Amino acid sequence: MRLEALLSEPLPQIKFPASVFKLTNGLNVIHQYLSATPVVVADVWVGAGAIAEPQEWSGMAHFLEHMIFKGTETIAPGVFDYVIESHGGVTNAATSHA
């Protein structure tokens, strides 16, 4: 049975007021201001990963995702997370087949 058949009233239309634009470097940006929410969120989605891997590279995107947080020649392991989290932020990474 469909969800709509169980409802006594139709579902309201959800509005998503946002600005969508592209930076000169090609990055697509979706910006939404919510005055009731005193936080800033920044997500970066890359159009690559598990879905684009050839079979013989299976798991490479997931491996590289973990390597990003291991540090660099100039940033020690854990420093990136520390800087973000010491300001109230949260870091996370994910790969997907979708």
- Catalytic residue positions? 65
Whole-angstrom distance, CA of residue 28 vs CA of residue 4: 34
CB 69 within 8 A of CB 91: yes
Measuring CA to CA, how many Å separate 17 from each of 20, 33, 62, 75? 10, 8, 33, 38
Q: Read off the tokens for 90.
A: 């949260």
Question: How close are the terminal C-alpha atoms of the chain, in Å?
Answer: 26
